[in-house]
Structure 1
Amino acid sequence: MEPVSLLYTHPDFYVIHKPAGVTMHDSKAGIIARTLPLVSDDALYLCHRLDDGTSGCLLLARHAAAAAYLGKLFATHRIQKFYVALATGKPKKKQGTISGDMKNRRQGQHILLSSTQHPAVTQFFSQAIAPGLRAFVVKPLTGKTHQIRVALKSLGTAILGDVLYKGTAAERMYLHAWQLQFTYRNELICVSCPPSSEFMHQPGFMPWLAQIDAVEKLNWPGYQLPR
């Protein structure tokens, strides 16, 4: 397992690299317990979460007031998140928007419904990078549990290593929180976390990633979230 590392330090928060396999809430071995030895703070606060198997950018507040402020930014969709993922199979569509309500089914799984009362909204681009292997860059507009995993499963391309959603078995789940972009008290914050060595060793991944100059400037579909 890769170590936790600091990506960005602010007086009010940190952005860290969360390794795949580290959980959020374990008081002894979770992400906060693993981060505290790296900093001078006595306490840190979760503002959002990543699934245990997901790696990449995670934002931790340094005090309660910052946690409340950042939590509000997440709740009002003012923090842009960009992910990369690898999947097997051919998707029902190569790019676009996936929108639908999500329902907890069984054994921790969720399913995507055709209704859109409180939808999970996920936008993506994808490209085949090797025989049977496809890379995705994903922008979730909402923050539902397992949202990206369910969205890619609905395309017929479950994430590589995501055995909960019948993805092809692998040494890890190939979902990575690549970039965070947001404005914090009039300051623009942009933080990237390079994908881990497991991604880099997959055929075609690095040439594909090098083609993406500025992820926020991709031709993302227009979509207005309901207020």
Structure 2
Amino acid sequence: MILEDDAILVLDKPVGVSVMGERHESDLVRMAADAGEQLFAVHRIDKVTSGVILFAKNLAVHGGLTRQFNKRTVEKAYLAVTAPGGLPAAGRIDLPLSVGRKNRVRIAAPRESIAFKDDTWTVPASAVFDTVPTYPSVTTFAVRAQTPARALVEAAPLTGRRHQIRVHLAWVGHPIVGDPLFEKAPAGRTYLHSWRLSFDHRGERVTVEAPMPADFAV
């Protein structure tokens, strides 16, 4: 547990546990219910992602918190380990997303249309698919440390799309180490961690943090 009061609960979720909605395995909402506590997930992180997750303890609080996410007033920071080389010290990935075959999230444009200029990846509006729903998506990042073997990246999703950081980094040539979306039979965990979350609660700005896993050190 990271933080708890009578209205909210913030946990450091381990890898391999879902937030909610898992059909055949335990998830945090179901485990809480089994223990006699009702929790309402304010947001989600992937099962393969560790770190900060925020729950409300009642629907009134849940509604106020989810509105903050919808209005994008919540600040989110993730840590990811990627292949090194080629990433600027800081940058912006401004690439729309869509959902393709087998419900897989992808960039909503041909790969060859992606352009890199002034530390920013974009696609021209004319290249964006017009046959499927598309979703503007922006991730900013900074390289915190780098060795010849790998890089530690701090990423901030300015929009909250499913798999956004994972797809954005992969499509600009730096997939997250161990990501099963882009790596066949990964040997270890997916190196993506929900590190820090800032939101308004009871008239104050609250920042919570899940310590970086030891194996993320570069």
The answer to whether TM tops 0.5 is: yes
Q: Distance in 1 between matches of 2:135 and 2:179?
A: 25
Shift of 1:156: 0.4
Number of positions where the alignment pairs a residue of Structure 1 with one of Structure 2? 194
Unaligned runs of 5+ residues in structure 1 are 1-5, 205-227
Q: Distance in 2 between matches of 1:35 and 1:132?
A: 40
Instruction: Give the structure 2 partner of residue 3 of structure 1.
Output: none
The question of 1:90 aligning with 2:85 is answered yes
Moved more, 10-19 or 127-136: 127-136
Moved more, 11-20 or 28-37: 28-37
Structure 2 counterpart of 1:47, one-letter code: V
Whether contact under 8 Å (2:84, 2:148) holds in the other structure is no
Instruction: Give the structure 1 partner of residue 168 of structure 2.
Output: 151
Shift of 1:59: 0.2
Instruction: Give the structure 2 partner of residue 34 of structure 1.
Output: 31
Q: Distance in 2 between matches of 1:167 and 1:185?
A: 45
Shift of 1:89: 4.1
Correspondence list, 1:1-227, <5 A: 6-24=1-19, 25-26=21-22, 29-35=26-32, 42-113=37-108, 114=123, 115=125, 118-166=135-183, 169-200=186-217, 204=218
Q: Distance in 1 between matches of 2:146 and 2:32?
A: 35
Structure 1 counterpart of 2:28, one-letter code: I
Q: Distance in 1 between matches of 2:181 and 2:103?
A: 8
Instruction: Give the structure 2 partner of residue 212 of structure 1.
Output: none
CA separation of 1:18 and 1:140: change in aligned 2, threshold 3 A: same
Q: Distance in 2 between matches of 1:69 and 1:43?
A: 17
CA separation of 1:194 and 1:42: change in aligned 2, threshold 3 A: same
TM-score by structure 1 length?
0.77
Q: How many percent identity over aligned positions?
A: 29
CA RMSD of aligned residues (A): 2.3
What does the per-residue CA deviation read over 1:36-73, in whole Å, with 9 as the maximum and x for residues that have no partner? Answer: 578xx631001110011000000010001111111101
Whether contact under 8 Å (1:53, 1:173) holds in the other structure is yes
Shift of 1:111: 1.6
Unaligned runs of 5+ residues in structure 2 are 109-122, 129-133
What does the per-residue CA deviation read over 1:129-153, in whole Å, with 9 as the maximum and x for residues that have no partner? Answer: 2222011001111100000001111
Whether contact under 8 Å (1:90, 1:156) holds in the other structure is no
What does the per-residue CA deviation read over 1:142-187, in whole Å, with 9 as the maximum and x for residues that have no partner? Answer: 1000000011112201000002123893410000000111222311
Structure ranking higher on relative contact order (CA contacts 8 Å, 6+ apart): 2
Shift of 1:193: 0.4
